[in-house]
Amino acid sequence: MNEKKLAFGYTVSKDRQIDFDEASLELYNKVCAAEPSIRLCISCGTCAATCSAAKFSDFSLRKLILQVRRGITKGLQAEVSKCMLCGKCQLACPRGVSTRALIMQINMNLQKTGK
Ligand code: SF4
Ligand code: SF4
């Protein structure tokens, strides 16, 4: 059998588990109280597909929201700073998530906690 692998441009992702000793929903609860539309997100990725910042970086609003929901805050400050607050994602979101307000809330709370 030919062992040579074809390069399709995809890789196998490393497995991920949520470490409940490290994960904290503190940020999610604060953001949720200020911007409840985070609950409407269905992780469809439309925002990421239309994102201006994603054209120049690996930024994904879908991933950012998922991490906040899962209580994974490590590295979030660097991620959220990639957003240019252009608002395109808000126009595209099929669930009416108030994305700009959400991003600003995440950023503000991360700055407060210094994470
Ligand atoms: S487009 Fe809206 S519903 Fe879809 S992942 Fe983005 S924020 Fe969530
Ligand atoms: S507001 Fe931020 S996340 Fe939304 S499309 Fe613009 S750069 Fe992307």
Residues whose CB falls within 8 Å of the CB of residue 72, separated by 6 or more in sequence, listed in order:
18, 22, 23
Whose Cα sits closest to atom 4 in ligand 2?
89
Residue range 26-113, CATH number: 1.10.1060.10
Composition of the chain by helix, strand, coil, percent to 5: 50, 0, 50
Whose Cα sits closest to atom 4 in ligand 1?
44
Q: 5: phi > 0 → left, psi -120 to 50 → alpha, else beta; which?
A: beta
Map residue 108 onto helix, strand or coil: helix
Ligand 2: residues with CB < 6 A are: 47, 51-53, 61, 83-89, 99-100, 103
Q: Which helix (H) or strand (E) holds 80?
A: helix 76-80
Instruction: Report d(CA 45, CA 62) in Å as an integer.
Output: 5
Of all ligands present, the nearest one to the C-alpha of 47 is: 1
Q: pLDDT truncated to tens, each residue of the chain (115 aa)?
A: 456 667 778 888 778 787 888 889 999 999 999 999 999 999 999 999 999 999 999 999 999 999 999 999 889 999 999 999 999 999 999 999 999 999 999 999 999 886 5
Whole-model pTM: value is 0.86
The encoded tokens of residue 114 equal 């210094």
Report DSSP state, residue 52. Answer: S
Instruction: Report d(CA 26, CA 43) in Å as an integer.
Output: 20
Identity (one letter) of the amino acid at 87? G
Whose Cα sits closest to atom 6 in ligand 1?
47
